[in-house]
Amino acid sequence: MSQDLIRIGHLSRVTGVPIATLRYYVSEGLIECERNRSKYRMFPKETIDIVRRILHLKSLMIPLAEIRLLLRTDETAPDACEHVLDLEQRLARILERKGLWEEEERRVRLLLESSKPPPGYRS
């Protein structure tokens, strides 16, 4: 067994991800492990970075199916290029909606400013 392998408990402590979640990630093909003679799950140390990347992508509300695709394909693969294009289109839609909301906010602020009575005004 290689010195570069760590047990699931260590991976959990280092990443802050519960052991049950790490087992789920294995079952979903997001991370890989091997079993030692005692049947313990053993992970390459690089798995720490992979789990941290998964956490980051999850924080961006990216579904696990998309995360799996991002982890499995390199940037030159056709699927990855298609996926990047999808993400770019999603970002464009978000920015468009953001622009519309910012314009709406600007209009409402102008209406509020124009609706305020002048200083010293008494009704």
Q: What is the pLDDT of residues 51-88, one digit of tens each?
A: 999 998 888 888 888 888 888 765 445 556 676 777 78
The conformational region for residue 29 under phi > 0 = left, psi -120 to 50 = alpha, else beta, is left
pLDDT at 75: 47
Average pLDDT over residues 35-58: 91
CB atoms near residue 6 (< 10 Å): 19
Look at residue 10 in the predicted model and tell me its pLDDT. 94
Label residue 1 by pLDDT band (50, 70, 90): very low
Q: At 92, is the pLDDT very low, low, confident or very high (cuts 50, 70, 90)?
A: confident
Contact 45, 6 (CB under 8 A): yes
In sequence order, the β-bridge partners of residue 44 are 5
